[in-house]
């Protein structure tokens, strides 16, 4: 309701979420603020690089739904001069929980340092409390490295689900809502999503973040999209598989090329055992990567 509340005109793109018509809408209607998930903005970026349009009306590109790669934030701001605003929330938080805006004490940072901050989901908005906890429900430190499940509470955070059996498991006894997101929180309160609990990969007793792997892979200039899922492994229980969509001008990129690209950037045991090159990552109705479909395709033997 923010548009109506502020007296702004709202443009609903309807089913036109493909990059080309979306770019036309933004350019023709002189959109000033746009919100969407990272895969939408990823497609739009590549469309605008191949077929430039005047999008100078855009004051802010708001990102939610999942983590946007730092490389894509940098690309929008450096190449297209569009300000990117990371946010996090859920229907259950009505919906905004955090926003990643630079503060006054960040003014003297380098652009690279500012993009590091913008890649985080940010600090809580007024009225929201947040914490991260371990599997035993113990609160974890805000040190920027310790990962835990995000829990929130506040006046407009859901307290129950209507007639939904078993929903009480989503809430702690002291009133916190279990979001299912896994994150770190820095000492100055900036939260950064590392994964969903259902998408984390546990390999040999160690956790691997599918989101971090995806974002690192998408920093490669030849990679348009990357989605990482866990696949069964007799020795390690689970190992990562990376589904890759290459850019049109990628050339002869191989799995070994991507392994070499990852080696200096992530722990060696994080390197996916398998890379599969596909035409498109399946997506949900709102444009998020649909990992359930990828898992089904792997089980059916369609991903090697």
pLDDT at 163: 86
pLDDT at 233: 95
Q: How confident is the model at residue 304 (pLDDT cuts 50, 70, 90)?
A: confident
Q: How confident is the model at residue 188 (pLDDT cuts 50, 70, 90)?
A: very high
Instruction: Tell me: pLDDT of 277 over 80.
Output: yes
Distance between CA atoms of 299 and 304, rounded to whole angstroms? 9
Residue 169 phi/psi, 5° resolution? -65, -15
Least reliable range by pLDDT among 137-146, 227-236, 250-259, 283-292: 283-292
pLDDT at 266: 97
pLDDT at 28: 97
- Mean pLDDT of the 276-300 span: 94
Which of the listed CATH numbers 1.20.1250.20, 3.40.50.11930, 3.30.300.30, 2.60.120.1030 matches domain 201-299?
A: 3.30.300.30
Query: Cis (ω within 30 of 0) for the bond into 186?
Result: no
- Where in the chain do CATH 3.40.50.980 domains reside? 2-123
What is the rounded average pLDDT for all residues in the chain?
A: 95
Mode of pairing for the β-strands spanning 274-277 and 237-246: parallel
Query: Cis (ω within 30 of 0) for the bond into 95?
Result: yes
The domain 128-191 having CATH identifier 2.30.110.10: the answer here is no
Q: What is the pTM of this model?
A: 0.86
Residue 235 phi/psi, 5° resolution? -85, -45
For residue range 9-67, what is the model confidence (pLDDT) as tens digits? 999 888 768 999 999 999 999 999 999 999 999 999 999 999 999 999 999 999 999 89
Instruction: Please answer whether residues 226 and 272 qualify as being in contact, where contact means their C-beta atoms are separated by less than 8 angstroms.
Output: no
The domain 2-123 having CATH identifier 3.40.50.980: the answer here is yes
Looking up tokens 């805006």 gives 101
């Amino acid at each position: 309701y923010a548009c109506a509340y502020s007296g702004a005109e709202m443009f609903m793109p309807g089913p036109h979420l493909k990059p080309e018509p979306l770019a036309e809408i933004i350019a023709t209607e002189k959109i000033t603020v746009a919100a969407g998930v990272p895969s939408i903005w990823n497609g739009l970026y590549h469309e605008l690089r191949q077929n430039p349009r005047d999008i100078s009306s855009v004051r802010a590109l708001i990102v939610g739904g999942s983590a946007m790669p730092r490389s894509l934030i940098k690309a929008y701001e450096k190449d297209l001069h569009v300000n990117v605003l990371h946010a996090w929330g859920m229907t259950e938080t009505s919906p905004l929980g955090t926003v990643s805006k630079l503060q006054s004490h960040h003014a003297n940072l380098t652009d690279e340092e500012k993009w590091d901050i913008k890649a985080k989901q940010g600090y809580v908005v007024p009225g929201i409390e947040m914490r991260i906890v371990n599997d035993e429900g113990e609160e974890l430190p805000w040190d920027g490295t310790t990962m835990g499940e995000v829990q929130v509470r506040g006046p407009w955070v859901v307290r129950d689900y209507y007639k939904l059996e078993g929903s009480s498991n989503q809430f702690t006894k002291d009133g916190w809502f279990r979001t299912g997101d896994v994150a770190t929180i820095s000492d100055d309160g900036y939260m950064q999503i590392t994964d969903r609990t259902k998408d984390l990969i546990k390999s040999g007793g160690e956790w691997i973040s599918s989101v971090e792997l995806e974002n690192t892979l998408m920093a490669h200039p030849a990679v348009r999209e990357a989605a990482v899922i866990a696949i069964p492994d007799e020795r390690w229980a689970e190992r990562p598989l990376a589904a890759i969509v290459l850019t049109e001008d990628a050339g002869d990129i191989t799995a070994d090329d991507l392994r070499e690209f990852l080696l200096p950037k992530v722990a060696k045991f994080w390197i996916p055992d398998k890379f599969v090159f596909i035409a498109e990552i399946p997506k949900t109705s709102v444009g998020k990567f649909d990992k359930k479909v990828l898992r089904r395709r792997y089980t059916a033997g369609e991903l090697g």
